[in-house]
Every structure is written in C-alpha cells, then in structure tokens.
Amino acid sequence: MTSWYSAKSRLPLYQAGAGEKKKKPTRPGGAGTIKLAILRDEESWIPWRNYWLCTLFAIHGRSFPVAPMVAYSCWVTLVTVIIKWNIDDWSKYSELLALQYPVQTIGLALFLLLNLRTQTAYNRWWDGAKAFGGVIHNIQNVHRIAQAWVRDSAMATKLITWTTVIAIALKHNLHYSRDMSEVADMLTIDEMRKMMASDNLPLFAISQASDLLVKISRTDSSVEYIMLEVDSCMNRMLGEMGACLRIRNIPMPWAYVVHLRAFLVLWLLILPLAFISTLHWYTIPLSILVGYELLGYEEIGVEIENPFGGDFSDLPLETMTAAMLSSAQHFLRRIKESKGPYEPAAMANEAEPSGHTQSAAQLRALNKSNGLKRSKSAVEEAHTLDLKKALKCMTQHHQEHCQHKLYDRLGGDALVQAAVDIYYRKLLSDDRVAQFFSGIPMEHFKAKQVKFLTYALGGEDKYSSKNPTVSHQQLHNEQGVRVTHFHIVMGHLQDTLRELGVAEALIDECKMALTPMEKAFACCIGHNPVRQDSAKMMSEAKPGADAKEQRDSCPF
C-alpha cells in the first residue's frame, strides 16, 4: 500500500448566505493550543516559569481588535484634549463629576456580561474539542476492530481507509473547504470522482464505510455481531459530527451580541468623561488600557466561538488528524505483516464451554440477533435524507457545485477541444517533454487526450482506452520518463486553462481531479500502489503487447 501524504488546501471559497464570503483558514489553526501544551509539559526547576515568561509578553496570538481600538483611542484623545483646553474651573461642571457613580455601578454588570460571553465561547471551544476528539476516538476504535476481526485483509484495508477519509473530510468541511487532495493517494480515481460529486463529503465517506460493513457481514457471518459494534461506533461518529457542525454553524444569539456590544461601546464612550476631572491627562492612557482590556476580552469570545478556524487559539485539527493517520498506518502495517487473520472462532473451539455456559452464549446471540432486526442505525437513516432539505442548508455556490459537473462548468466539449490544441502546442515547444512525443501521430493522440480529460473531469463515466500506467512504464524504460515530467505537463495544462479564461477556482478543481494520475508516473520508478485502478490494470496487461501501441495509449 502506498504511503499517504498531506497536501496544502488550495480550493477556493464558496459563497455563504446573504453574499458573505466564508474565509477558509490560510494556515492550520491551533498553534497556540499546541504551544501551550508543550510549555505545560516542559520540565523546569521553576514551576511557574514556563507559563509566565512565554505568555506574559507574548505578541503573536494575543487578541487585539485593531479597528475598535484605533477608533476608541482617537475618541479618548479628542475628548480629553477638547475638555482640557476649554475647562479651567471643574466646579462649574458638576455633571462630569457625577458621571463617576453610574460608570462604577454599571461597570460591574458589564464585567459580568463579558465574563458570561467569554465563558460561553470557551464552553463551545471545549465542546468542539470533545466532539472532534470523539470522532477520532471512534475511528481509531474501528481501525482496531478491523485489524483484529476482519478476515479479508483487502476489506479490512478498505474499511480503515474509508474511516480515515471520514476524519479528513470532516476537517475540510469544518474549514469550508472541499480540497480532498490529501486523500488522493488513498482512493482510486473513480472513488475520488464519486466523492467529489457528493454534496456532503463526510457523509459520503460514512456511507462507503457502512456499505463495507454490510459486505463484510454477508461474507463472514461469524463477525456479524462485531460489525454491530462497528456500526455503533459509526452511529456515535455521526452524533459527534453533528455536534461539530452545530458549533460551527450556530453562533451566539444575535440579540445578546448586539445588546452587549451597544452597552460596552456606550460605557467606554462615557469612561473618559468620568475620569478627566480627577485624572486629567492621565485619562488618555488609562482609558485606552481599560478599553483594550474589555474590547480584547470580547474579541477572545469572538475568536474561540468557532474553534474550527485558523486562528492561533483554535483547535489543532491538523495535528489531531495527523495522529489518527499515524495510528491508521500502524494498523495497516499490522494487516500487511500478519500471516493470517485473527480468528476468535478457532480460539473458542479449543475449549468447548459447558452446557450451562453454552446456553448463556446462545441466549446472548439470540438477543443480539433480535436487536439487529429492531435497530436502524443513523448511518442508514442518513442515506434517506431528503435532497431538497439538504440543499437548503447549502450555500448558493455549493449548490451550483453539486448540481453541475466540473466538465460542464468548464464549458464542456468545446473548451476541452480548445484546451487540448493549445496544451499540446505548449508541450511540443518544451524541450523537457517534447522528446516523448516524437514519431507519434498527434491528431490521434489529441483525440485520446480529449477522451481522457472528458472522463477525468466528469463528462463520461468510463474510460475505454488502454491503461496509462503501461504506456508510462514503456516510456520510462525507453526514454526515462519521471514524476517530474507529470508536474511539467500539469503546469502547462494549468497555463492553458488560464489562457482560455478559466477561473482559478475551476483550475484548482481540475488539478485535484487529475492528481491521482501522478501515481501512474510513480509506478515507473518502483512504487506500486496496491489499490489504484492503474496498478490493477497493469497486472492484467498482456506480456506480449505491442510496445508502440502501449506507448501511444498514454493520454499525456
């Protein structure tokens, strides 16, 4: 099995409701959470040093509402200067002195409201950590069961793969992203195309894993009850996913936020008027300091209200999924290295239970069987979701993405034909790759490229031409084709689409759709992807096939 790799998320944003653009994190969030965990666990002869020295004067990650603070600083300075230049006798302005009392009284209530705001946001942050951690925990439990109990190593590998995809799909879903290039090395081209055509990536991965449970149960009836436990894990996983989406999609109540901010701004505007009669010019720094404390406190609540973003204090989803990927690779190695599957039935035959114990076992089996007939898992219920209701929850851009194939959104056959002509002119003028096309009838070759791109971009469901891995192997043996050449031709294809006026968003989607082809080039230098369509087809190629015919079948 090939190693799984990570790729940076570069898929464009999609529009949110009311025209507001949802910002996808430009960098992994949770750097502050990871840093604080490291500092907490560092050994030091001064117990408090790790937290205080690194956090007291920290600049990066500190909540600082720039625009509100600039506006408030200007207000405080302006009010103080005007009053100091125009008022000499404070006894004539007793109203300014009287402002101190309502400011002190209302200030206590304001601090309590801000504390409630921040505490509620922290509860959402912690609930998000528990929910996403619960998804990871249930996935690892499924991995453990698959490695230990599923007899068919291929089915066990697929189950581990699809449950791993669930976590990665959920992570990108929480980031408002559909960039699944991170799993391109785990799935076949056809599986990637089907998943990207789905409107709900995590639910699609769960449905695939659920189908595998049914297949495993039908293939091996001895693990049927074990698969019930896996289905329970999937059910809990759906609940945790729902909690994550609830936290992300449902913010604090509008009325509460509006009232609190109006109350806070009014109190801060009055604050310098109450201070100036006693503090004079010191009103400016002290009012700004108090304003930063309160506005920063409110900004903290905004930042951690959605813990799945890319802020410094958000949850480290990348780190959590990376740990899960590491454990998945461990179980996959165990499956690959094991001489045979774990067979609990064989172990049970070594010591036959007594009549009483056997009756109890039969009774438990009967109860489980009855429970199976009565149960209907949340996974099965999810399969019957009304598409119209699902579409109502999607954004306008996302709806268009799901209802129209990438091939159609690009412009269909007309654009593909034009792109192929320009694309091959670029390739033939590039000395790095032009040598691979010498002596080949280009018109016939371009027709094959049109067919391949039509299939890869979703225009056709099948690709009837010969397997590209065979032709790439031939090119490798004869002329030394390498993976680097794949990146060269992909770069020319991207430049071609830009010349034709294709949006960068669609270009990124095209790149992601064609990313699995890289493994066809990787096969040429000794790698052997186990579960790829190309590798499977290569094993079925005829040994005596004509070399030139195989070479001409290469779509690149």
Our count of domains for the chain comes to 3
Residue-wise DSSP of 509-529: HHHHHHGGGHHHHHGGGT---
Q: Considering the domain boundaries, does residue 471 fall inside one?
A: yes
What local confidence, expressed as pLDDT, does residue 473 receive? 58
Same domain, 264 and 168: no
What local confidence, expressed as pLDDT, does residue 50 receive? 63
What local confidence, expressed as pLDDT, does residue 213 receive? 92
Same domain, 191 and 324: yes
Question: Of 48, 8, 47, which is closest to residue 26 (Cα–Cα)?
Answer: 8
Same domain, 370 and 448: no
Same domain, 408 and 497: yes
Same domain, 99 and 214: no
d(CA 282, CA 210): 67
Q: Considering the domain boundaries, does residue 442 fall inside one?
A: yes
What local confidence, expressed as pLDDT, does residue 321 receive? 92
Q: Considering the domain boundaries, does residue 19 fall inside one?
A: no
Please check whether residue 150 is in contact with residue 224, taking contact to mean a CB–CB distance below 8 angstroms: no
**Tokens 């239970």 -> residue:** 353
- List the CATH number of the domain containing 490: 1.10.490.10
Same domain, 118 and 62: yes
Neighbours of 371 (CB within 10 A): 11
What local confidence, expressed as pLDDT, does residue 277 receive? 80
Same domain, 75 and 185: no
pLDDT per position in the chain (556 positions), as tens? 344 433 333 333 223 333 334 545 545 677 878 877 777 777 666 655 566 777 777 777 788 888 999 999 999 999 899 888 887 776 666 777 777 778 887 888 888 888 888 899 999 999 999 999 999 999 999 999 999 999 889 999 999 999 999 999 999 999 998 888 888 888 888 898 899 999 999 999 999 999 999 999 888 888 888 888 899 999 999 999 999 999 999 998 999 889 889 989 999 998 888 888 888 889 999 999 999 989 998 899 888 899 998 888 899 999 999 999 999 999 999 998 874 444 443 343 444 444 444 444 454 454 455 444 444 443 344 333 333 343 344 334 444 444 467 777 877 888 888 888 887 788 788 778 777 777 777 777 777 777 777 777 777 766 666 555 555 556 555 666 666 777 787 888 888 888 888 888 788 777 777 776 665 555 444 443 333 343 333 334 444 444 444 444 444 4
Residue 15 φ/ψ, nearest 5 degrees: -70, 140
Same domain, 226 and 260: no
Burial code (b: 16+ CB inside 10 Å, e: under 16) for 189-221 equals bebbbebbebbbbbbbbbbbbbebbeebbeebe
Distances (CA, A) of 522 to 53, 511, 515, 518, 527: 49, 17, 12, 6, 6
Q: Considering the domain boundaries, does residue 218 fall inside one?
A: yes
Q: Considering the domain boundaries, does residue 2 fall inside one?
A: no
Burial group, residue 154, by CB count within 10 angstroms (0-12, 13-18, 19+): exposed
d(CA 266, CA 143): 56
Q: Considering the domain boundaries, does residue 3 fall inside one?
A: no
Q: Considering the domain boundaries, does residue 26 fall inside one?
A: no
Give the domain-ending residue among 264, 286, 305.
Answer: 305
Q: Considering the domain boundaries, does residue 35 fall inside one?
A: yes
What local confidence, expressed as pLDDT, does residue 208 receive? 94
- What is the H or E stretch that residue 489 is in? helix 483-499
Same domain, 241 and 264: no
Give the domain-ending residue among 367, 390, 413.
Answer: 390
Same domain, 382 and 518: no
What local confidence, expressed as pLDDT, does residue 470 receive? 55
Same domain, 246 and 182: yes
Same domain, 331 and 321: yes
Residue-wise DSSP of 233-271: HHHHHHHHHHHHHHHHH--S-HHHHHHHHHHHHHHHHHH
Question: Of 175, 136, 169, 129, which is closest to residue 315 (Cα–Cα)?
Answer: 129
The residue type at 84:
K
d(CA 554, CA 472): 7
Range of the domain at 514: 404-552
